[in-house]
Chains A and B, each alone.
Chain A
């Protein structure tokens, strides 16, 4: 089936550094999403993105977070600067329209030290 690839699978960084998480969505999809899962908790919506713009963001999407997809390349989540509480697994997803199935990647585990 359609695959969403996330790179890297695990990232370890020092607090205060910048990190970029990369997502290669399904090729014909137009809607993109980031979800955050802290260990032992449910996956929570961070942001969705369509036509070059953020459509909606949750309160978890702090000012230090940003997303973009320049020229159809990777859909990225950038955190600058990182904080200890940003340690989590970040899942990327894509869909072909605003009401259809979301296809998820396997997640990037971010460890902030």
Chain B
């Protein structure tokens, strides 16, 4: 059983629309959540991280975290074709985890002009 589950597997949104991606960990030892974006053939790049309950916004990107349910979500407003990529969610422990990230399988986002 995978410890980090992402949904949906793929998502198509029109340009200018809102994309919402979900991620849940089944490991109650995790404290930190990370969202990475990977364009085809490129390296995964950290998009946003969240460590506390609540919401964090950076430009068009908003991330939520509910630590009780170990659920995080990423929302992209005013989606652009350049946002089309694989979005990876990862979880890690604050201490004693050696910064080891456990990844989900990812959500493929396609933004259609």
Binding site for B on A (CB under 8 A): 1, 4, 31, 33, 35, 41-45, 48, 55-56, 91, 95, 98-107
Contact = CB atoms under 8 A, between A and B. Distances in A.
A25 to B, nearest CB: 12
Contacts, number: 54
Nearest to A44: B103
B45 A1 contact: yes
Interface of B: 2, 4, 32, 34, 36, 41-46, 49, 88, 94, 98-106
B40 to A, nearest CB: 11
B20 to A, nearest CB: 20
Question: What are the 5 A-B residue pairs with the smallest beta carbon separation, nearest first?
Answer: A106-B43, A42-B105, A104-B43, A43-B103, A56-B98
A55 B99 CA distance: 10
B43 A48 contact: no
